[in-house]
Every structure is written in C-alpha cells, then in structure tokens.
Amino acid sequence: MSKHIVSIDINGKTVNKEVDSRMLLVHFIREELQMTGTHIGCDTSSCGACTILMDGRSVKSCTLYTVQASGKSVKTIEGMEEGGALHPLQEGFHEEHGLQCGFCTPGMIMRAAELLEKNPNPSEEEIRWGISGNLCRCTGYVNIVKPFSMLLKKCKRRLHE
C-alpha cells in the first residue's frame, strides 16, 4: 500500500495528512475530515452530489484521488458561509426553496458558485446546461432552475452591497 503525505488547503485551512494513494477525495473529505456536507450519490461521476471547488473550478470529488489535490485549494459547502452568515447562494436556495430532499443541494450550490463566477448573467438555457452534471433525483429542476436567474440577481446585488 502506498502512503503519501498530502497538504491541501480546505476552506482556507491547510490540512496535512497521510493517506493511501487510492483514497478518493470524497472519502478524505467525509471520513478523514468529518465534513459530510459533500455527498456521495451515484459514485460514478454522473450525479454531481460530490461536487466541490478545486482551485475555483467545480469538480467531482468521487473521481479524484486525494493525492491529486495535494498543493491545491479545495472549497466544500462547509466553506461557503462566512462569519456565521450563509453565502448568498445558500440563502437563495433556502428562500426560494430550490430543493426537495436536499441531497443534491450542496453539489448544486458548489456548481452554481463556479457558474455564477464565470457567467454572472446566464440565460435559462445556460443555467440548465451549466448544471447538467448535477442530478436532482426528486426531479425538482423547475424549482432549482426557475428562480435561478432571480437568485443570481439577488446574489449579485448582495455581493456588491
């Protein structure tokens, strides 16, 4: 078994740990760091429940070895709030009820964060394509997509306040 010391910036804090080379990043986050907001859905890089940001880009943490993230900066849903206040996206999903069971929500929010960062004013089609790698098994897409633009506008306003 090959072991490696990894050094990863997780939500602004550097974590140094020894891991097996085969440990997947999602398992590292959930089991080693006890941060269970990042979910495991399909386990086959289809559903996006495990979506995190790595160096600012959304990636599926079930399809990355922890060693690949060494030296990189990772953000999970736990890192979205600031000083005890929810991130505008979290607040938006809450206020607009952009969820049913909520299982896909952390992944949706992490994906939405990159989408918003790159395209501050997406059309509905761009939103739908943008979250096409994140599945809502409640099929609650209308509630996720329909208020999206409104959410984004709100977020933008708040981000700039």
Strand-pairing partners, residue 101, are none
> Of 48 and 106, which has the nearer Cβ to other proteins?
48
**Does position 4 bind other proteins by CB under 8 A?**
yes
Smallest separation, CB 131 to other proteins (Å): 8
Site pattern 36..55 for other proteins (x: CB under 8 A): -------xxxx-x--x----
Packing angle of the helix pair 105-118, 148-160 (nearest 10 deg): 60
Distance CA 156, CA 161 (A): 9
Distance CA 151, CA 73 (A): 26
Q: Which residue from 28, 65, 103, 148 is in contact with other proteins, where contact means CB under 8 A?
A: 65
Helix (H, G, I), strand (E, B) or coil at 148: helix
Q: Is 20 exposed, middle or buried (0-12, 13-18, 19+ CB in 10 A)?
A: middle
Q: Which residue from 5, 7, 18, 22 is in contact with other proteins, where contact means CB under 8 A?
A: 22
Distances (CA, A) of 32 to 26, 36, 71, 136: 10, 10, 17, 27
Smallest separation, CB 76 to other proteins (Å): 14
Considering only residues 81 through 110, tell me which ones interact with other proteins, judged by CB under 8 A: none
Q: Which stretch binds other proteins (CB under 8 A): 64-72, 84-92, 98-106, 146-154?
A: 64-72
Smallest separation, CB 4 to other proteins (Å): 6
Dihedral class, residue 138 (left if φ above 0, else alpha if ψ from -120 to 50, else beta) = alpha
User: Contact positions toward other proteins, by CB under 8 A?
Assistant: 1-2, 4, 20-22, 24, 43-46, 48, 51, 57-60, 63-65, 67-68, 111, 114-115, 129-134
